[in-house]
Amino acid sequence: MTNRDKTRLEEFSDEELEAVAECERSLLVEAELKKRYCRWQIAVLEEEKEFRRSRKPRRPAKEWENLWHREVEDVAATCGVSLGYVAEIALKVARET
């Protein structure tokens, strides 16, 4: 059995390159969603704090949900992957956070 240098891309088969690219793409999408989800969650919390201080009206929950959906759509467009792919990861991120 020959030891191959897996740090050199030239040593990878086409299938291995595709598998690594898919893994990296998944990590990129997940990281982008986590960043945006945290930002979105902070905005929700800040609005609640503002409401408690000044009684300024809150956004309806549906509006917040729509804002999150737009973030998910934007991640799909930005990362060049399907919305279904990103939505699946977004559900996981929302459950974990």
C-beta separation of 29 from 79 below 8 A: yes
Assess if residue 16 is contained within a domain: no
Q: Which domain holds residue 32?
A: 28-96
Distance, in Å, from the CA atom of 75 to the CA atom of 72, rounded to the nearest integer, reads: 5
Assess if residue 11 is contained within a domain: no
- The total number of structural domains in the chain stands at 1
Assess if residue 75 is contained within a domain: yes
Assess if residue 18 is contained within a domain: no
Which pTM does this prediction carry?
0.82
Q: Across residues 67-93, what is the average pLDDT?
A: 96
Tens digit of each residue's pLDDT (9 = 90 or more) over 32-51? 999 999 999 999 999 999 99
Assess if residue 6 is contained within a domain: no
Assess if residue 9 is contained within a domain: no
pLDDT value at residue 6: 67
Assess if residue 17 is contained within a domain: no
pLDDT value at residue 9: 84
